[in-house]
Structure 1
Amino acid sequence: MRRITLAAIFLASLLALTACGHSTGDRALSGAGIGAGVGAVGGLMFGAPLEGALIGGAVGAGTGAITNSHQVNLGRPVWR
Structure 2
Amino acid sequence: MPLFLIERQFADALQLDDASVAAVKQINTDVGVNWLISFLSADRKKTYCLYEAPSADAIREAARLAHLPADVVVEVSRIRPESFA
Q: Which structure has the higher relative contact order (CA within 8 Å, separation 6+)? A: 2
Of Structure 1 and Structure 2, the greater helix share is in 1
| TM-score of the pair, normalised by structure 2 | 0.32
| TM-score of the pair, normalised by structure 1 | 0.33
Of Structure 1 and Structure 2, the greater strand share is in 2
